[in-house]
Amino acid sequence: MGQRGEAVAGWGCTVSGWPYGQQSGSPQDPYDSQSPQSPQGYPGYPDAAPGGIPGQAGPADPYGQQYAYPAAPSAGYPGAAPSASPAYSSGYPSGPDYSYSHDGPDEPHKDFGLRRKRVLARVLDLVLLVVLWAVLIGTFLRQIQQRAAEVGSDVILDLLRNPTADDAEVLDVIEGAQLDAVHDISVLVLWFGVAIYLLPLVYEFVFLAVFGRTPGKMLCGLAVRAKSDPDGRKVRFRGMIRALVFTGVPSGVFYLTVVAHENGDTALAGVGWLVLLAGIAALWLMLTPARRGLHDLLSGTVVVSTR
């Protein structure tokens, strides 16, 4: 009984009636004694402290055991670990890429050109066309003057050949020369009208077929491409359709309206103006996000930026 009141070794308290303390010759308490030590650390590695420092013991187990951490080789020695931590894979395959793409069936991946650039390009093309028209008009006027001079020369030559001709014969010569001059000038006017009408069409088609752009579009960094192949170089046949819709139809409607007014056919003139207004309204489609006009839709083309 006297031994039960002794202080328990290792616990710092006195418990009466029960031998918790470790006495000499008494059996070991499983909760108080330390179990046999496990090998310190893993094979070939010294013990590590809680912070992972080699050579120090790990955290103490509440039941008396200690754990050891493997020590990393020191930097600067053979087998030293790299300074940067290696990238670890989660082991799961990466998912699909859901990055946003602006491409779609109505909006090819190329930029279709800003309205300002397209308007500026069209203005530059119009200026060049006016210069070409001026050249045609100058050529036409020179041809008329030349023909008038030829008619006058013919009249003078006829009169010189027949110096005894009376007034009636002189008038016949002048009238015949005038009729010939009117016929020749009428032919010139016809060809002049055809040239004026075809010039924008030929201008648009030739440049699109050869270069894929007009001079105005070249200066503004724009190009015409097929909608199905925005990266292509030339449009060729599509360029012909585009030129016909953009320049041929409005020009034809304009001449039809002028002729109708000349002949006093107001109904036909009204139809012509309605068609012309419809064409202008169709060009309003350029304000859509795709920046495509009626000529683009019918020809299957788009205007892309090359800069």
**Model pLDDT, residue 159:** 61
In a domain, 227, yes or no: yes
In a domain, 207, yes or no: yes
Per the listing, tokens 């120090």 go with: 56
CA torsion sign for 174, 179, 182, 188 is negative
**Model pLDDT, residue 190:** 80
Dist. CA 110–CA 100, nearest whole Å:
15
**Model pLDDT, residue 142:** 86
Q: Which residues of the chain have pLDDT under 50?
A: 1-26, 29, 32-36, 38-42, 44-49, 51-52, 55, 75-76, 80-81, 84-90, 92-93, 95-113
In a domain, 96, yes or no: no
**Model pLDDT, residue 196:** 81
In a domain, 273, yes or no: yes
**Model pLDDT, residue 5:** 45
In a domain, 48, yes or no: no
Angle at 181 between CA 175 and CA 185, to 5 degrees: 145
The CA distances from residue 96 to 89, 90, 103, in Å, are: 17, 16, 18
Tens digit of each residue's pLDDT (9 = 90 or more) over 12-48: 444 444 444 444 444 554 554 444 454 444 454 444 4
Chain-centre distance of CA 165, in angstroms?
79
Whether the CB-CB separation of 171 and 165 falls below 8 Å is answered with no
**Model pLDDT, residue 215:** 93
In a domain, 68, yes or no: no
In a domain, 145, yes or no: yes
- With a threshold of 0.75, does the pTM exceed it? no
Q: Which domain holds residue 211?
A: 115-302
Let me know how long the chain is.
Answer: 307
Six-digit token string for 18: 């029960």
Query: Number of folded domains in the chain?
Result: 1
At position 154, the amino acid (one-letter code) is D
In a domain, 158, yes or no: yes
